[in-house]
Amino acid sequence: MQTLDAFLSRLLPLVPGCAHPVALQALVDSAIEFCEKSQVIQLTTAAVNAVAGTFNYTIVLPADTNVSQVLRVWYGNAELGLPAQHDVNSPLAYNPVAGDSTREIGTPRMAFIVDPTTITLYPTPRVDLTSAVTVRVATKPSRSATTLADLLLEDWVEGVVAGAAYRLAASPSEAYSSDSNAMKYASMYRYHLGCARIEANKGRVRGDMTVTQRPFA
């Protein structure tokens, strides 16, 4: 993790006269949006034990980090379905009751995400299983973060800084307020955000340059 100060040397020259606390919060706000929209910061949690009769499992993340989106969940080597919330019909998925006899017991097939840091397995595990539950998540900084992911500094510092700069330049009645600069930095931010989205989707692999012909329907 990198301290916010590591980003300041790039941001402050773009917004002369900006107070450090204001610049730091703009960096955090920019990093949150950048991570939410790109999903470029991802991690796979350490596998935790499944406990018979227990359906809720907490997603453990590094300090200063929140879940942006749960991407994949595994039970053992089997990937679980992740239904959208509007497809979850039973109220027990949202408010499960320990020991409720109406809940199916067996090998989990799905995971409900009702709380950003909690997954609910369904069916409820029948047996204890070591290192059973693994989660892949896209993360974002917390609003009170004092550090940011290393990758944001190493690969995406221009995007995060541009996002902070356009927010600050768009502020009214400040020494660093500038509509033209706000537009310029917003354009830079959108460019880097687009690059990050592509990387998040395909990873760091070479794409296939061939085109496969498809018959017309």
Q: Give the integer Cα–Cα distance in Å for 78 and 84.
A: 19
Q: What residues contact residue 205 under an 8 Å CB cut-off, 6+ apart?
A: none
Q: Beta partners for 141?
A: 65
pLDDT (tens digit, 9 = 90+) per residue, 12-46? 999 999 999 999 999 999 999 999 999 999 999 99
Region 64-82 average pLDDT: 94
Q: For residues 28 and 141, is the Cβ–Cβ distance under 8 A? A: yes
Q: What is the mean pLDDT of residues 160-175?
A: 95
> Does the pLDDT of residue 101 top 70, yes or no?
no
Strand partners, 156: none
Q: What CA–CA distance (Å, rounded) separates 123 from 151?
A: 37
pLDDT above 60 for 48: yes
Bond from prior residue into 123 cis (ω within 30 degrees of 0): yes
DSSP symbols for 104-115: -EES--EEEEEE
Count of positions (residues) in the chain: 217
Lowest-confidence segment of 68-77, 99-108, 149-158 by average pLDDT: 99-108
Q: Is the pLDDT of residue 216 over 70?
A: no
Banded pLDDT at 84 (limits 50, 70, 90)? confident
Query: pLDDT category, 209, cuts 50, 70, 90?
Result: very low
